[in-house]
Structure 1
Amino acid sequence: MKIKYLLIVFALLFSEGLSAQKPIKLAVAGMTHGHISFILGRPDKGDFELVGICDPNQELAVNLANHFKVSTDLIYADLGKMLDETKPDAVVAFGSVYDHLAVVEACAPRGIDVMVEKPLAVSMEHATRMEELAEKYKIHLLTDYETSWYPTTAKSIELVREGEVTGLMRKVVIHDGHQGPAEIGCDSIFLSWLTDPVLNGGGALVDFGCYGANIMTALTKGEKPVSVTAVTRQFKPEVYPKVDDEATIIVSYPESQCIIQASWNWPFNRKDMEIYGVSGYIKTSDNYEMNIRTQGMKKAEEVTVTSEDVAVSEDPFAYFADVIHGKIKPEEFGLYSLKNNVQVVEILDAARESAKTGKTVYLNP
């Protein structure tokens, strides 16, 4: 009898172990984002089962499905119908930033976890509504940034928290952008909303300003900014007639300052930053290379960082899967977290207002 009981317990434990490894049923909401290849072109790692892809533009959906060798049987034109028929565990959003709210409004009441491409929302009105829905229906709502996958980003945050390199952080300068979305070859469908002030919320200010706001919020563990001052330019009105293509944002904190330089006018792609403290600095060059210098050093030390050196997932979807499975609990103001990204939208809202009025915007404490 005891042996039979042990066998039953073993069988239950074994079945639970198998269920924990069962692929997450994943659906894609929206296909107009140029980063759609991140998920449709992702190698099958056994952690997800693609059950549906949805976009009102059926011609686009079919073309992309064929390009990435995805079955056209998975295509839907209506988001609600796809969710009800395929019953996914999770959804990734690859439409316009404006559409993020509609995705969460559809997924949250159905208990479906969501990850959107950066930024979280076009406005605080949208962001607040999304936060309310996520909390009410207890779903995960993550925001994906390329720099969240960077070992140098994770290492920089770790070093600032330890305080050994920089000491008290005083100034952070973050550069993000490229030559411009049209210049680097983004397709016309992507450009149609990326360069629209309603569907994207702005131009370079939103597209690349969000990176700096996201990282600074993580560095400060969600410290509330005191004020935001921004200046935008339109150096290429013939290319981007509706939105800015250049933005400089100064975010002031009680004891530090962040300067965000977001641009569609860099001579090349860049995502790098400088963190200065009272006793040293950290400068990242890209996702793996960084320089560190403290007061006791005559010159900077060049450091190469990999995911083996610091806790970071270089695959955002693997991170999403681990969050869904409960293997990872996102830090309250971590790079992917909801609280971080609501604050990002607040900073971007203030930056737009400052650029529009020519005045510094003070945030409520």
Structure 2
Amino acid sequence: MKYNLVLLIGMVFFLNTVNAQDENKKPIRLAVVGMSHGHIPFILKRPNKRDFNLVGFYETNDSLIFKLSEQFNLNSKLIYKDLEKMLDEVKPEAVVAFGSVYDHLMAVEACAPRGIHVMVEKPLAVNMEHAKKMALLAKKHNIHLLTDYETSWYPSLAKSFSLVLEENFVGQLKRVIINTGHKGPKEIGCDKYFLEWLTDPKLNGGGAIVDFGCYGANIVTALTKGEKPISVSAVTRQLKPKVYPNVDDDATIVISYPSFQCVIQASWNWTFSRKDIEIYGKEGYIKLDKNQITTRKSENQSEETKSIKEINVDNYTDPFTYFGDVINKNIKMEPFSLYSIDNNIRVVEILDLARKSAQEGKAIPFK
């Protein structure tokens, strides 16, 4: 009895100590670089989880600053039009980039020498020239450089990866089909600040081929743990030239691997918004979207569908929590995993080859 009492007191003391350490742990000082991305509410509306403190914002567009300040009640003293001044005065430990894809390089060039970790919205860069510079800066200054995709948060995707990579559910991969997109950025109501660069071939790197093609390249690279493709081919269309005169609005990318193909159908012309994936192997298949996963193991079995609530998987459903845990060394990014630099350099390389293929009308070998 006496031993049990001592053990109980010891446990209470331990738990109180752990809780006190958690409470005393300082939140990461986080700044926002660029505010024109339509995903900016992800961070501005995020509930306070005590893991980050928003300490500064960089944006040069006055009307956008006014709009977001009114909408999210931002402190005007924290908003800067000079990036380097903002970084030097508020001294963030980490930055999230919500500007154009072209500006991702600028963010890393400013942050890396200051030892500031960076997470950008997908994709990593507009081309391989930018991607290589960013990777070299991240390595030289020993910072984390992550790329965030909405699909990386999906428990259904995490479960599918577990089935394929850990349980060998489908056997040898035979075909992966990834469908991503929506009716079009104008059609779904993206504001003028977002559209200004999203439909600019320089600032975004392309239209639907980049905006939604990057999801498929990211997922298949993680699914294969970085296996090198043989070739990349692509066909792009301008189905709505009056709406999107400067970029493609529909793209089909085929990535050929030694034993299978990945088909990415990226479009601003879908009937409805979609992000769904089909993974076919020699022994079974998996179909998934954000809300459910469907599996079939053999020809003699029927399909089994589970809703998101039925999926039992350990997965980050908040990219900022993941970012924080990487910075705090609570988790280590695996090579070619979804957020990782090596995966996302491969994504940019695939997109570069896809654009070249669409221009030249032939498959481009993967070097």
Taking structure 1 as the reference length, what is the TM-score of the superposition?
Answer: 0.93
Matched, 1:218 2:216: no
CA distance in structure 1 between the partners assigned to 2:168 and 2:178 by the alignment: 21
Matched, 1:316 2:319: yes
Q: For this pair of structures, how many residues does the alignment match?
A: 352
Q: How does 1:236-275 map to 2 (within 5 A)?
A: 236-275=240-279
Q: Unaligned regions of 5+ residues in structure 1, if any?
A: 1-9
- Return the offset for 1:16: 10
Q: How does 1:195-344 map to 2 (within 5 A)?
A: 195-284=199-288, 286-295=289-298, 297-306=300-309, 309-344=312-347
- Return the offset for 1:307: 9.4
CA distance in structure 2 between the partners assigned to 1:224 and 1:300 by the alignment: 32
Give the one of 100, 107, 123 matched to 2:104.
100
Q: Unaligned regions of 5+ residues in structure 2, if any?
A: 1-13
CA distance in structure 1 between the partners assigned to 2:187 and 2:211 by the alignment: 15
Taking structure 2 as the reference length, what is the TM-score of the superposition?
Answer: 0.93
Q: Kindly provide the amino acid, as one letter, of the partner of residue 303 in structure 1.
A: K
Q: SS of the residue aligned with 2:40? A: helix
CA distance in structure 2 between the partners assigned to 1:242 and 1:202 by the alignment: 9
Q: SS of the residue aligned with 2:39? A: helix
Matched, 1:61 2:65: yes
- Runs of 4+ in structure 1 deviating by more than 6 angstroms, as ranges, are 13-16
Partner of 2:119: 115
CA distance in structure 2 between the partners assigned to 1:96 and 1:14 by the alignment: 41
Contact 1:62 1:72 in 2 (8 A): no
Q: SS of the residue aligned with 2:225? A: coil
Matched, 1:140 2:144: yes
Partner of 1:75: 79
What is the identity percentage for the equivalent residue pairs of Structure 1 and Structure 2?
A: 61
Contact 1:307 1:314 in 2 (8 A): no
CA distance in structure 2 between the partners assigned to 1:184 and 1:199 by the alignment: 20
CA 1:36–1:179 in structure 2 vs 1: closer, same or farther (change >3 Å)? same
CA 1:244–1:114 in structure 2 vs 1: closer, same or farther (change >3 Å)? same
CA distance in structure 1 between the partners assigned to 2:24 and 2:340 by the alignment: 23
Partner of 1:127: 131
Matched, 1:349 2:352: yes
Partner of 2:55: 51
- Kindly provide the CA deviation profile for residues 261-313 of structure 1, in whole angstroms up to 9, marking residues without a partner as x: 000000110000100000110000x2230110011543110122459721211
CA 1:307–1:129 in structure 2 vs 1: closer, same or farther (change >3 Å)? farther
- Return the offset for 1:32: 0.6
- Kindly provide the CA deviation profile for residues 310-330 of structure 1, in whole angstroms up to 9, marking residues without a partner as x: 121111111111111111111
CA distance in structure 1 between the partners assigned to 2:175 and 2:190 by the alignment: 33
Worse overlay, 293-302 or 137-146:
293-302
Partner of 1:5: none
Q: Kindly provide the amino acid, as one letter, of the partner of residue 65 in structure 2.
A: A
CA distance in structure 2 between the partners assigned to 1:20 and 1:263 by the alignment: 47
- Kindly provide the CA deviation profile for residues 86-140 of structure 1, in whole angstroms up to 9, marking residues without a partner as x: 0000000000000000000000000000000000000000000000000110100
Two-structure CA RMSD over aligned residues (Å): 1.7
Contact 1:26 1:90 in 2 (8 A): yes
CA 1:124–1:81 in structure 2 vs 1: closer, same or farther (change >3 Å)? same
